[in-house]
Structure 1
């Protein structure tokens, strides 16, 4: 299964994400990143990405990553929304947002989206259930 039309529209509307990787010592690390999505893979690059902890973590063989794309539509009423992706990462060379350079290519394995329609958070909390998707290649 792949991303829904609503999820794809949300991904196209958001320029920033947070990526979590794991270091060789088991220490998790989270960093804000720009990302690209081509319909199958997420790509994370940057300025001299090989020097970043997230790239070094993947280069040492810790290929499990989590990517969170989220925003806060309003404070009153409280209106958060997100799309979270678990996946595997590999380091590749490609032409992308940061030119031809090293990028982290993330293959989604499981994703969750929540409140992408941007409903205000009220008293009926039972309505807010994430949509879980298992992605198979």
Structure 2
């Protein structure tokens, strides 16, 4: 399995992440994006404009990083209350056309970016492993 049950549960509570791609000139581009975690461990990213730079970047260089993070709730029982927590995924992406967009189908395009994770780093989301882990999955 690509993601642990705890990583999967965390990602399913989030609806916004940041996708990092590389421009043809070698410059990084980071874009906030809506996403969906699929049952097979891939991640679908959508948007209203399939002609945007991030789609063109993936077409030229499929190596991407995707980050989903927030602040740990400052409440009893939380892992590292008041600290940051999240999941960073390095992977290989491709542009696909799907029948239904992963989020906001009323205004997102059917052209998506699908990420196949290669390396996952999670932190402050697992009470049994509060400092997290980094692992190669692909």
Give the structure-2-normalised TM-score: 0.82
Counterpart of 1:135? Answer: 137
What is the CA–CA distance in structure 2 between the aligned matches of 1:101 and 1:65, rounded to whole Å? 20
SS of the equivalent of 2:55 reads helix
Counterpart of 2:122? Answer: 113
SS of the equivalent of 1:83 reads strand
What is the CA–CA distance in structure 2 between the aligned matches of 1:117 and 1:135, rounded to whole Å? 18
2:23 maps to 1:20: no
- Greater strand share, 1 or 2? 1
Counterpart of 1:46? Answer: 47
- String of CA shifts for 1:61-81, please: whole Å, max 9, x gaps: 211000000001347953210
Structure 1: segments with no counterpart, 5+ residues: 119-126
Q: CA RMSD in A?
A: 2.0
Runs of 4+ in 1 over 6 A off after TM superposition: none
Does the aligned pair in 2 maintain the 1:114–1:130 contact within 8 Å? yes
Q: How does 1:84-99 map to 2 (within 5 A)?
A: 84-94=88-98, 95-96=100-101, 97-99=103-105
Shift in Å, 1:117: 4.1
Structure 2: segments with no counterpart, 5+ residues: 76-80
Size of the alignment, in residue pairs? 126
Give the structure-1-normalised TM-score: 0.82
- Greater helix share, 1 or 2? 1
Greater CA drift, 76-85 or 22-31:
76-85
2:86 maps to 1:82: yes
What is the CA–CA distance in structure 2 between the aligned matches of 1:15 and 1:70, rounded to whole Å? 10
Counterpart of 1:4? Answer: 4
